[in-house]
Amino acid sequence: MNKIELEIISLTHSVTQSHSFVVILGEKEGKRRIPIVIGSGEAQAIAIALENIVPTRPLTHDLMRDMLFSFEVNIEEIIIHNLIDGIFYSTIICRHNNETYEFDSRTSDAVALSTRFKCPIYTYETILETAGVFIEDTEITAEDVESIEDRSPIAVHQNPNDYTTFSTPELEKLLHKALEEEDYEKAASIRDEIGKR
């Protein structure tokens, strides 16, 4: 399957989800854009790297970069390889001593690391067909972000952390599943909703 290279087009507040951000990735050789909703921590990590800001204390992604450099591990590429229920799945491809290693990663973390290693981000045509939105302009405005979010086939406007409609037994099952999958952000959101009750 041929890989399609992406680049970071924009990073901004989500128009449709409060307290969230959207990183918009676009084809290097095309007009399709993919909106990916991310948390504030990952947005900060990406923004700091894009702006070449050096924090007084290393952020998590900076610490990871420094540790990998110390052990002579290089991140060669990021591949956004799947899209399930509106969630993008990514793999980080690393090289150490002429050996290649693959690590499953949240896409937001993978993008944050790509900004530090200056490595390419790839995806596949199937992902672009499913989640891509055509935008003619090279400059992305706030109106474009809203348009991309509204027109996205993956319904990024739905808040994945809204658990108010679930019953308490349903929430407990979801919490158990989130912990099994080591999705601690989701688990924390579910726990908070249970705590409110």
Instruction: Identify whether 135 is part of a domain.
Output: yes
Residues 173 and 192 reside in one and the same domain:
yes
Give a yes or no: residue 156 inside a domain.
no
Same domain? 84 vs 20:
yes
Distance separating alpha carbons of residues 32 and 110, to the nearest angstrom: 20
pLDDT in tens, 35-79: 888 888 899 999 999 999 988 898 999 999 999 999 999 999 999
Asked if 146 and 166 sit in the same domain, the reply is no
Adjacent-strand bridge partners of 74: 95
Q: How many CB atoms lie within 10 A of CB 40?
A: 11
Task: Assess contact for 69 and 108: CB atoms under 8 A.
Answer: no
In the predicted structure, residue 178 carries a pLDDT above the cut 90: no
Helix (H) or strand (E) holding 104, with range, is strand 99-106
Q: What is the pLDDT of residues 115-174, one digit of tens each?
A: 999 999 999 999 999 888 887 665 565 565 555 555 554 444 334 556 765 678 878 888
The whole model's pTM is what? 0.71
| Domain encompassing residue 138 | 3-151
User: How buried is residue 110: exposed, middle or buried, by Cβ count under 10 Å (0-12/13-18/19+)?
Assistant: buried
d(CA 55, CA 28): 30
Domain harbouring 32, CATH code: 3.10.690.10
Which among 38, 35, 28, 96 has a CA at the least distance from the CA of 68? 96
pLDDT of residue 150: 57
- C-alpha dist (Å) from residue 92 to 15, 77, 120, 156: 29, 6, 11, 23
How far CA 80 is from CA of 14, 109, 110, 136, in Å, comes to: 21, 12, 9, 23
Binning pLDDT at 50, 70 and 90, where does residue 85 land? confident
Q: Is residue 25 part of a domain?
A: yes
Residue type, 18: S
Asked if residue 63 belongs to a domain, the reply is yes
Q: 77 with 172, same domain? A: no
Residues 165 and 113 placed together within one structural domain of the fold: no
Is the domain of 12 the same as that of 109? yes
30 and 59 fall within a common domain? yes
Domains: count for the chain: 2
Same domain, 170 and 95: no
Same domain, 133 and 179: no
Q: Is residue 194 part of a domain?
A: yes
Residues 20 and 66 in one domain: yes
Do 186 and 89 belong to one domain? no
Q: Is residue 91 part of a domain?
A: yes
d(CA 181, CA 6): 28
Give yes or no: residues 95 and 114 share one domain.
yes
